[in-house]
Chain A
């Protein structure tokens, strides 16, 4: 196990170094970025014209051209953030997979947790109010009998009931 892990780690390190070297060389030479490099960024962007379609899988001609644009920008040495910013500047925030955390968009990040916590609070309060009366009013009769019921007894009782049904 350990040996395998070590070999795997060594291979991984080698691959990482090689990729690094290769990427450096590639950047230096300005050679064409691979489809995978383009898709890694396109995946995070949404087609500016279609509804809810990630740019990496969008089949339209327009999206093909946008992917080529990303390729060109990568070849020119742009960073991932620069490319994303370029698309936001030109086509609006809708190209991002989730709304940027600014202004009104905070609604999307704050409203659901607030509502869920409010729901949990209401539920908790309600449950407490439901439980209280039991212990005061109906409590003695119930709370004494139930815990005494043994598991085996309950299952036999259930079995008996089922037979009679």
Chain B
């Protein structure tokens, strides 16, 4: 009954969403504002409707209605209530409803805003948002009904929306239970965060389409959606970070990011979104890159849908799974349709979107932003090829291949290095100086000498470097990065020399105290460079404020950020990225691991740590249907006793685990410090005597900075995205003047 009700409401929501599309379209054609108003109200109605349907689903989940196929798949009677509720997004059918629910919430929020100044956008925003919503609702109603029941027929048991002939409803004793890997707090928050990011990127896209259709070539759509985009970006970024933290805490392989296609599916819209966030600033300031911003927002939207498709259609495990799943072709069709329609619109409006101003120099701020975009697009190309190629290979030759971390790391690391360098020089260009730096002013012999030096060093140490880096193309790429950085540093020498000296000194210090690895040293050099430049920017601005306003340091600092939130929020994000880079560099370059079997009282040693096996115990927890095996290890740094760790294996013996009994969860014991993490996994043990156990131990240097950086990142984005009352009034802007102040806000 409840299931029929929920399904019915879902169907009604679909009808309402479709009505909203039709009414808005008719309203535009007939120039009828009552029709458009009706479309808006229909749009507003979808959220309460889907909420009711979702409540019905939650009711079924919480009350163990195992005759519902989805409930059977993701819950079991041993699960606590909060997990039964969050199981809503723990499986395919439910998570699609969750997507629609968030989508309708965002679309409703956007239709509630004051539309006085932008009435002409309204119908088109409604059309785009409602089409997207209708697409996801169709998927739920037609292909992935979360309310489908299990029916027993002569052929067997299967899920159906409507009762087949000669069938009876089948109610299993208990559900299969949520995959234990998904019962971690990180995994409970991670999908909603990602989905929030995905869904909120639909809003800028809807406004972009509205701007294209109405022919408004100004930056109004960007100004309206600026904060949406930032919040979308925040959610998506946090979704990615939480996913990483979950992997680190639960998956038990000592890492946080494995370049898995599922991760990359969420990373790709993040890349275009990040590029978009940067390049819209230029459109706002200088009226340039209008066409390019359209392309970026279209790409981001398409990648959001494509990412959902990759993770939801089963295409990643095999192209054949894709062919068999009905939602695959449906998804692909939708992505193709969106791309064709939106690109056609863009081509139609292309001439009207020409730049309002000209670019001043190859080294101007705008040029640097374009370079930033090129680099993000390059990482995107790599990710896209890496995700798609295994499918192409399987289709073309029948051979499956793995495109794994070694390939991604090799291909993307030079691009990330260049991005870091751009972070170092971009803030400097905001002081209006870069336009003075003309390429023709360069002293070519000096530049030649600067560039010849690394070439010479590389030529001499070619063999050693090839051995250290692993392959000659790697050495060539490292050299190319060094040359590009050196040339740009020379061009910007007046601005950057202090930071460069600091970075060089730090690098030399690290060479003697920490590492001789050239890749790591390049990385640390760039990190210090960016930090030094950015902190100096803060310092300079705060001092200026102190002098002019007679404020104390703290007040000047707070007001500086408060008055220019986007710029300084952005700088805080840059600093946070560098902290994250420290963590990434640490774990990627210096991770150590060892594995060994020890008897009670014996110890394993690694990187100065001693891990002593003290005890092990195994017990069942019948209410949760799980068997825990927990080891107790004492850890020492040298002779100093640091405490105990409790690496664990959890073996679920519910139905799901019976089907897959050999995949227990390895929960690490982790001792964390700013310097490194000691990450201990229990691999194996001897059940009878409890006298021996096998441990795998990782030492992950500096990885904590990744998490610290992500917290700072959060603060930075919130500062940049915080609603700004003044901005609403201050949108009037002088354009095409000889000089524009380079304030980034």
Query: Which residues of A are at the interface with B, using a C-beta cutoff of 8 A?
Result: 1, 34-36, 39, 46, 51-52, 54, 57, 59-62, 92-99, 103-105, 107-108, 111-112, 115-116, 119-120, 123, 127-128, 130-131, 133-134, 138, 141-142, 145-147, 149, 151, 154-155, 157-159, 161-162, 165
Is there an interface contact between B374 and A131, defined as CB atoms closer than 8 Å? no
Check if B320 is an interface residue, CB within 8 A of chain A.
no
Cα distance, A159 to B258, chains bound together (Å): 47
Alpha-carbon gap, A127 to B282, bound state (A): 14
Q: How many chain B residues touch the partner (CB < 8 A)?
A: 67
Pair A134/B358 contact, Cβ less than 8 Å: yes
State the CA gap A127–B368 with chains docked (Å). Answer: 11
Residue interface bits B246-275, CB-to-A below 8 A is 1, else 0? 000000111000101100000000000000
Residues from chain A with a CB closer than 8 A to the CB of B738 are 141-142, 145-146
Q: Could you list 5 examples of A-B contacts with CB < 8 Å?
A: A51-B316, A62-B662, A98-B402, A155-B431, A159-B548
Specify which chain B residues have a CB less than 8 angstroms from the CB of A154 in the assembled complex: 431-432, 741-742
Q: A96-B402, A158-B743, A162-B743 are in contact. Are A142 and B377 (CB under 8 A)?
A: no
Is the pair A165, B405 in contact by a Cβ cutoff of 8 Å? no
CB of B362 within 8 A of CB of A127, answer yes
- Which residues of A lie under 8 Å from residue B359 when comparing CB positions? 127, 130-131, 134
Stretch at the interface among B114-122, B208-216, B234-242, B589-597: B589-597
With A57-B254, A161-B741: A94-B435 Cβ-Cβ less than 8 Å: no
| Beta-carbon contact of B403 and A98 below 8 Å | yes
Q: Are A35 and B597 in contact (CB under 8 A)?
A: yes
Q: Could you tell me if B403 and A142 are in contact, using CB atoms closer than 8 angstroms?
A: no
B153 sits at the interface (CB 8 A): no
Query: By the criterion CB–CB under 8 Å, are A94 and B401 in contact?
Result: yes
Inside 8 A of A52's CB, which chain B residues have their CB?
A: 258, 260-261, 402, 404
Q: Which residues of A contact B253 (CB under 8 A)?
A: 54, 57
A158 contacts B741, C-beta separation under 8 Å: yes
In the complex, the chain A residue whose C-beta lies closest to that of B541 is A155
Known contacts: A57-B252, A123-B370. The answer to whether A99 contacts B389 by CB under 8 A is yes
Most buried by A among B371, B386, B738, B742: B738
A-B complex: 7 closest residue pairs judged by Cβ atoms: A35-B595, A57-B253, A97-B404, A134-B358, A98-B407, A61-B662, A130-B359
Known: A104-B397, A112-B385, A142-B360. A97 touches B402 (CB 8 A): yes
Contact check, A131 vs B358: say whether CB atoms are below 8 A apart.
Answer: yes
Q: Is the CB of B694 within 8 A of A35?
A: yes
Q: Which residue of B lies closest to A131 (CB)?
A: B359
Main secondary structure of the interface of A (DSSP, over half): helix
Per-residue 0/1 for B587-616: is the Cβ within 8 Å of any A Cβ (1 yes, 0 no)? 000000111110000000000000000000
| A112–B381 touching, CB < 8 Å | yes
Interface set, chain B 335-362, CB cutoff 8 A to A: 355, 358-362
User: Across the interface, which residues of B come within 8 angstroms of A119, CB to CB?
Assistant: 374, 377-378, 381
Contact A138 B406, CB 8 Å, known A35-B694, A93-B401: no
Docked complex Cα distance between A163 and B389 (Å): 55
Q: Which of B93-138 contact A (CB under 8 A)?
A: none
Add 18 more A-B contacts to A54-B253, A162-B743 (CB < 8 A).
Answer: A35-B596, A36-B593, A52-B258, A57-B254, A59-B662, A93-B400, A97-B402, A115-B381, A127-B370, A131-B359, A131-B360, A134-B358, A138-B358, A145-B738, A146-B739, A154-B742, A158-B743, A162-B564
B504 interfacial by beta-carbon distance below 8 Å: no
A128 contacts which chain B residues (CB < 8 A)? 362
Closest to B261 in A: A52
Contacting pair B741 A157 (CB below 8 A): yes
> Is B399 an interface residue when CB atoms closer than 8 A count as contact?
yes
- Bound-state CA distance A147–B433 (Å) is 8
Please count the residue pairs between chain A and chain B whose beta carbons lie under 8 angstroms apart in the complex. 159
Q: A71 CB to closest chain B CB, in angstroms?
A: 12
Q: Is the CB of A97 within 8 A of B436?
A: no
Nearest CB in chain B: distance from A163 CB, A: 9
A57 CB contacts on chain B under 8 angstroms: 252-254
User: Bound complex: CA of A161 vs CA of B744, how far in Å?
Assistant: 13
Residues on the A chain within 8 Å of B393, using CB: 99, 104-105
Question: B478 → chain A, closest Cβ, in Å?
Answer: 15
**Are B544 and A99 in contact (CB-based, < 8 A)?**
no
Q: Which of B374, B386, B664 has a CB less than 8 Å from the CB of A108? A: B386
Write out the residue numbers on chain B whose beta carbons fall within 8 Å of the beta carbon of A103. Answer: 397
B596–A34 CB distance below 8 A? yes
A residues near B431, Cβ cutoff 8 Å: 151, 154-155
Chain B min CB distance to A127 (Å): 6
Contacts of B261 in A (CB 8 A): 52
Contact flag A130-B662 (CB < 8 Å), given A57-B254, A105-B393, A165-B726: no
* Chain B, residue nearest A111 (CB): B385
Question: Which of A36, A107, A108, A112 makes the CB contact (< 8 A) with B595?
Answer: A36
Residues of A within 8 A of B552 (CB): none
> CB-CB < 8 A to B564: which residues of A?
162
Q: Which of B397-429 contact A (CB under 8 A)?
A: 397, 399-407, 411
Q: What is the distance, in angstroms, from B563's C-beta to the closest C-beta of chain A?
A: 6
A107 to B371, CA, bound (A): 25
User: B688 on the interface (CB 8 Å rule)?
Assistant: no
B residues within 8 A CB of A46? 402, 404
Chain B residues with CB below 8 A from A105, complex form: 393, 401
B381 and A116 within 8 A (CB):
yes
Chain A nearest CB, measured from B732 CB (Å): 11
CB-CB under 8 A from A1, the residues of chain B are 512
CB distance from A129 to the nearest CB of B (A): 9
Q: How far, in whole Å, are A58 and B553 apart by their CA atoms in the complex? A: 53
Q: Which residue of B lies closest to A159 (CB)?
A: B548
Could you tell me the distance in whole angstroms from the C-beta of A153 to the nearest C-beta in chain B?
10
Q: How far is the CA of A20 from the CA of B404 in the complex (A)?
A: 32
Tell which of B392, B432, B664 touches A149, judged by Cβ atoms closer than 8 Å: B432
Output the nearest chain A residue to B431 by Cβ-Cβ distance: A151
**B730 contacts across to A, CB distance below 8 A:** 165
Contact B433 A151, beta carbon cutoff 8 Å: yes
User: Which of these, A62, A108, A145, A149, contacts B407 with CB under 8 Å?
Assistant: A108
Q: Which residues of B have CB within 8 Å of A161?
A: 741, 743
Given A103-B397, A123-B370, A158-B742, decide whether A97 and B377 contact each other with a Cβ distance below 8 A. Answer: no
Kindly list chain B residues whose C-beta atoms are within 8 Å of the C-beta of A130.
355, 358-359
CA distance A1 to B560 in the complex (A): 44
Choose one: A92, A93, A108, A123; the contact of B389 (CB below 8 Å): A108
Q: Which residues of B contact A134 (CB under 8 A)?
A: 358-360
Give the distance to chain A from B539, nearest Cβ to Cβ, in Å.
14
Q: Which residues of A contact B597 (CB under 8 A)?
A: 35
**Could you say which residues of chain A place their CB within 8 Å of the CB of B396?**
104
Residues A155 and B316 in contact in the complex (CB < 8 Å), given A108-B389, A111-B385, A130-B359: no
Task: Indicate if the CB atoms of B742 and A93 lie closer than 8 Å.
Answer: no
Q: Is B63 an interface residue (CB 8 A)?
A: no
Q: How far is the CA of A1 from the CA of B316 in the complex (A)?
A: 53
With CB as the reference atom, state the residue of chain A lying closest to B548.
A159
Question: Which A residues are in CB contact (< 8 Å) with B596?
Answer: 34-36
Alpha-carbon distance A133/B354, docked complex (angstroms): 14
Complex partner residue of B544 from A108, A133, A142, A155, CB under 8 angstroms: A155
Give every chain A residue within 8 A of B742 (Cβ-Cβ).
Answer: 154, 158
Query: Which chain A positions have C-beta within 8 A of B401?
Result: 93-94, 96, 99, 105
Q: How far is the CB of A5 from chain B (nearest CB, A)?
A: 9
| B664 adjacent to A99 (CB under 8 Å) | no
Cα separation A52 to B316 with both chains bound (whole Å): 10
Is the beta-carbon distance between A59 and B663 smaller than 8 angstroms? Answer: yes
B522 at the interface (CB under 8 A from A): no
B609 to chain A, nearest CB (A): 15
Report if A39-B432 is in contact (Cβ < 8 Å); known contacts: A51-B316, A107-B392, A130-B355: no
User: A100's closest neighbor in chain B, by CB?
Assistant: B401
**Which residues from chain A contact B743 at a C-beta distance below 8 Å?**
158, 161-162
> Which residues of A lie under 8 Å from residue B487 when comparing CB positions?
none
Interface set, chain B 306-326, CB cutoff 8 A to A: 316-317
B361-400, CB < 8 A from A: 361-362, 367, 370-371, 374, 377-378, 381-382, 385-386, 389, 392-393, 396-397, 399-400
